[in-house]
């Protein structure tokens, strides 16, 4: 079985990460160009505010991309912690079962 078949969401996440990296590189180039044109003396004075506005919008979009990357990284960390907790709970249940403890969650309240 290939890795994509084992973890399809992981493959999608890695694809998203590579595409985001490309978008961030492109966005940085566009922001730099827009800022240069907004500050340039060769740009017409009536066009400078348009370039400054464009640079501001591009910066906002770049921040949104970075924010989504942070959310995805946080989601990965939560999944790792969840798996760790589940594994430890399973190990603890197995250890308790070896010691002969009863699993009290199987009993309903008020019934023996």
pLDDT tens readout for residues 76-112: 899 999 999 999 999 888 887 777 666 566 565 555 5
**Residue 32 sits in which domain range?**
3-106
pLDDT at 17: 83
Does residue 88 sit within a domain?
yes
What is this structure's pTM?
0.62
Q: What is the 3-state secondary structure (H, E, C) of the chain?
A: CCHHHHCHHHHHHHHHHHHHHHHHHHHHHHHHHHHHHHHCCCCCCCCHHHHHHHHHHHHHHHHHHHHHHHHHHHHHHHHHHHHHHHHHHHHHHHHHHHHCCCCHHHCCCCCC
Does residue 70 sit within a domain?
yes
Looking at the chain, the whole-number percentage of residues with pLDDT higher than 90 is: 47
Does residue 112 sit within a domain?
no
Does residue 111 sit within a domain?
no
Q: Categorize the per-residue pLDDT at 63 as very low, low, confident or very high, splitting at 50, 70 and 90.
A: very high
Q: Categorize the per-residue pLDDT at 41 as very low, low, confident or very high, splitting at 50, 70 and 90.
A: very high
Q: How many domains does the chain have?
A: 1
Mean pLDDT of the chain: 84
pLDDT at 1: 47
Does residue 7 sit within a domain?
yes
């Amino acid at each position: 079985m290939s890795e994509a078949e084992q973890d399809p969401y992981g493959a999608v996440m890695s694809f998203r990460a590579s595409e985001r990296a490309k978008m961030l590189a492109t966005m940085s180039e566009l922001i730099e160009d827009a800022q240069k044109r907004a500050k340039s003396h060769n740009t017409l004075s009536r066009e400078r505010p348009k370039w400054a506005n464009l640079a501001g919008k591009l910066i906002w979009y770049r921040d949104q991309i970075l924010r989504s990357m942070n959310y995805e990284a946080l989601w990965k960390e939560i999944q790792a912690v969840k798996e760790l907790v589940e594994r430890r709970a399973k190990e603890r249940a197995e250890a308790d079962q070896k010691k002969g403890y009863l699993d009290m969650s199987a009993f309903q309240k008020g019934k023996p």
